[in-house]
Structure 1
Amino acid sequence: MLALMVAQLGIFAPAAHAAPSCVGPASDTWIHLTVDRVRNGKGLITATLYPNDRKRFLVKNGSLYVASTPASAGQTRFCLFVPHPGTYAIAIYHDEDSSGTINRGGLFGIPSEAVGFSNNPTILFGPPSLRSVLFTVDRANQAFTINLKKF
């Protein structure tokens, strides 16, 4: 009733939780990411957000979206929108040359730029499983840390 009266009078109350300046498609849900072990401040930290769907994890056009922010040596902190509360996976890489793609080298196409995943799984021979990197966002404004690793 109060909201209706406020709207009729042309008075608008501020949002209870105004979203900070985040990357990605705007929504009412966001998370704060800290990316640790950033080698230098060159280029971008690029985050790829995946749904809880094994068939879409780490495959071309399988992500919900990709977003980047300028890299800061040591730690890069930024805010990332997620579509709504739910279960997701994040893959991060340090795009040092700002090419927009992860550089790979060697015979097996191993990333030559530092990478990391939500939940910081142990990465030995190949990418982690979706199950090992899934995390749950149950409300806006949660914080997560991802450690980069260079192979």
Structure 2
Amino acid sequence: MFCQLFSLFLLFGSFVNTLEVKIQGIEEPQGMIRIAVYDSDEVHLDEEQISFFHEEPVNATGEMTIRIQLPEGSYSVAVFHDVNGDKALNKNMIGMPKEPYGFSNNAMGTFGPPSFEQARIRVPDAERITIKLR
């Protein structure tokens, strides 16, 4: 049993990489930063199929850095500042976000969110990314 577990650790443990996500533009020292990572175009921005999720409390304005562990691969990263802590990206009547948000590559869509390709990063090629909230 130990040999099998050790073999799995060697097989999968060596492929885990740290991605450092620097989030800039935090204007209110409250709520949570929520990070969702997607591993393909098919699941990009599908809240039911997030590949990796992380949340961390906000205690100051300015910027914060969060380190997440990911296996090698292509990903898009979506971040939002859940200022009121209701675990939802609040939107106005026409569907525009009312809370600060951002994507990897600081990608922006023309009419709506960016595509997976616009936000795609490659791990471990990208060890550090910066996302500016808007």
TM over 0.5: yes
Paired residue for 1:96?
83
Q: How does 1:117-136 map to 2 (within 5 A)?
A: 117-136=103-122
TM-score by structure 1 length?
0.72
Structure 1 residue runs of 4+, over 4 Å off? none
Deviation at 1:65, TM superposition (A): 2.6
Query: What letter is aligned with 1:120?
Result: N
From 47, 58, 66, the counterpart of 1:60: 47
Distance 2:109 2:119 in 1: 11
The alignment partner of 1:68 has SS state of strand
Deviation at 1:87, TM superposition (A): 0.9
Paired residue for 1:77?
65
Listed as ranges, the gaps of 5+ residues in structure 2 are 1-14
How many matched pairs?
119
| Worse-superposed segment, 113-122 or 57-66 | 57-66
Does residue 131 of structure 2 align to residue 146 of structure 1?
yes
Distance 1:60 1:40 in 2: 25
Query: What letter is aligned with 2:24?
Result: D
Deviation at 1:133, TM superposition (A): 0.2
Q: Alignment RMSD, CA only?
A: 1.8
Rg bigger for which structure? 1
* Sequence identity percentage: 24
Q: Deviations over 1:49-107 (max 9, x none)?
A: 100x222111231211321112231101111121x11111100000011111111122x
Paired residue for 2:30?
42
Structure with greater proportional helix content = 2
Query: What letter is aligned with 2:47?
Result: K
Deviation at 1:122, TM superposition (A): 3.0
The alignment partner of 1:119 has SS state of helix
Distance 1:148 1:123, change over 3 A: farther
Does residue 111 of structure 2 align to residue 111 of structure 1?
no
Distance 1:101 1:131 in 2: 24
